[in-house]
Amino acid sequence: MFGFTRYYLSDTSCQMTDLLPVVVVHGGAGFIPKERLQLSISGVCAAVRTGHAILKGGGSSMDAVVETVIQLENNPAFNAGCGSVLNVKGEVEMDAIVMDGKTLASGAVSAVRNIANPIQLARLVMDKTSHACLTAEGANQFARSMGIEEVPQESLITEYSRMRWRKNLAPDANPVESQMGKAGTVGAVAVDLEGNVACATSTGGMLNKMEGRVGDTPIIGSGGYADNQSGAVSTTGHGETIMKITLARLILFHMEQGRSVEDASDLGLACMQSRLGGLGGVVTVDPQGHWAARFSSKQMSWAAAQRDIMHYGLYTGEHFTQSIN
């Protein structure tokens, strides 16, 4: 059964601007340990307030998703930025992507090291180069040319991440069980007052991955996709299966066929699970401001802000609301 959370206004008398702007955030699909549940949900709620304030002030959807994800990268509760999981050598390598639905411009970085906010670097790839993705040392060289300060590896490694890395290296470790606790990839989608959509996704990747492994996050159509003609999606889950079905683009394809944001999201997740056994989650918006947060995993922390109301949840069927003001 999929996590069922939505806010869909079916009143045909509503004008598009009645639903705009909107921002939706996820903190990663998977299993979240009990001691980290509150950190995860409070983190996405704080981040969505950031995006909401930008959009209410007339900011662009791109500005909103980038600043929202920066806040999540700066939160050690998530597998992104300073909370990233470690590769097989005990080091941090990160991936990130942004995409602008108005122009279809995109920027991404993969296997980047020593960068506090990879999502900021991904946006610079989009804004300052003619390329769509830079990887590894090339991405770091570009960061230096843009004046982005590199930080020590140790500043990106939490004691929790190091503990999980050591546990997974133990002779009696269960790799499947270890990966079940990998929730934390972060992402956001938004629609601004002009009806422009954007997405942003950032991650530390898979625990104990091979050095140089690149997952779904920086791949256009997999980790995210945005198009003003259909909507925007940010994904989370098992990267290799997400890439095989290009989950983000698949969901938007279903929306282009007339499916609602929630139905399209469910169809994409169902395809990934039935064909490949992969679990995951998504946040999705359309240009009119309808949104959904859907997941096939046990949990996914998520939050949305629309009409000065914050919506949030963690478990299947869970949907809380409160005023943002």
Catalytic residue among 185, 203, 217, 284: 185
CA separation for the pair 102, 199 (Å, rounded): 11
**135 assigned ligand-binding residue:** no
End-to-end CA distance of the chain: 34
Instruction: Measure CA 149 to chain center.
Output: 24
Residues pairing with 303 in the sheet: 25, 312
Cα dihedral 114, 119, 120, 124 sign: positive
Strands 291-295 and 3-7: antiparallel
CA separation for the pair 188, 305 (Å, rounded): 11
Instruction: Measure CA 225 to chain center.
Output: 11
Peptide bond preceding 171 in cis form (omega within 30 of 0): no
3-class state of residue 194 by DSSP: coil
**215 assigned ligand-binding residue:** yes
Instruction: Measure CA 189 to chain center.
Output: 8
CA separation for the pair 259, 266 (Å, rounded): 10
CA separation for the pair 167, 299 (Å, rounded): 22
3-class state of residue 310 by DSSP: strand
**214 assigned ligand-binding residue:** yes
**236 assigned ligand-binding residue:** yes
Residues 202/49, Cβ–Cβ less than 8 Å: no
Q: Which helix H or strand E contains 250, and what residues bound it?
A: helix 247-256
185 included as an active-site residue = yes
| Catalytic residue set | 185
The binding site for substrate consists of 213-216, 236-239
The binding site consists of 213-216, 236-239
